[in-house]
Amino acid sequence: MALSNDQIDSLIGMVTSVASDELDCDGCFGRIAEFAEYHLASKEIPEAMKVVQRHLEQCLCCKDEFNALMKGLEAIDSD
Ligand SMILES: [Zn+2]
């Protein structure tokens, strides 16, 4: 079966949109500090950081990491 260029394009589009929307734990750890800073400053979470938020809602181990990080940052802040 041969795919037309349009079909190939739409398949690639699907794969890329899934990949950019889903974050694995490594990707989450890479951005978690930045995400925590937004939280701590009560800033609005930018669209690019919402993948981190979604990952934290689904992943307990990253959520634990985030909570620990927040505690640490809050402790520094209150010094
Ligand atoms: Zn995770």
Any alpha helices (H) in 1-79, and if so which ranges? 5-21, 25-40, 50-58, 60-77
Q: Which domain holds residue 68?
A: 23-77
In the chain, the number of structural domains is 1
pLDDT for 13: 77
**Is the CB of residue 24 less than 8 Å from the CB of residue 54?**
no
- State pTM to two decimals: 0.68
In a domain? residue 8: no
> Does a structural domain hold residue 44?
yes
| Distance from residue 51's CA to the centre of ligand 1 (Å) | 11
Contacts of 31 (CB under 8 A, 6+ apart): 23, 49, 52
Identify the pLDDT of residue 15. 64
Tell me the angle at which helices 25-40 and 50-58 cross, rounded to the nearest 10 degrees.
110
Surrounding residues of ion ligand 1, Cβ less than 5 A: 25, 28, 59, 62
Do residues 70 and 41 lie in contact, with contact meaning Cβ atoms separated by under 8 Å?
no
Q: Report how far ligand 1's centroid is from the alpha carbon of 29 (Å).
A: 8
Q: What is the pLDDT of residues 4-63, one digit of tens each?
A: 999 988 887 766 555 556 899 999 999 999 999 999 999 999 998 999 999 999 999 999
Domain-located, residue 59: yes
Residue 52 lies in a domain: yes
In a domain, 56, yes or no: yes
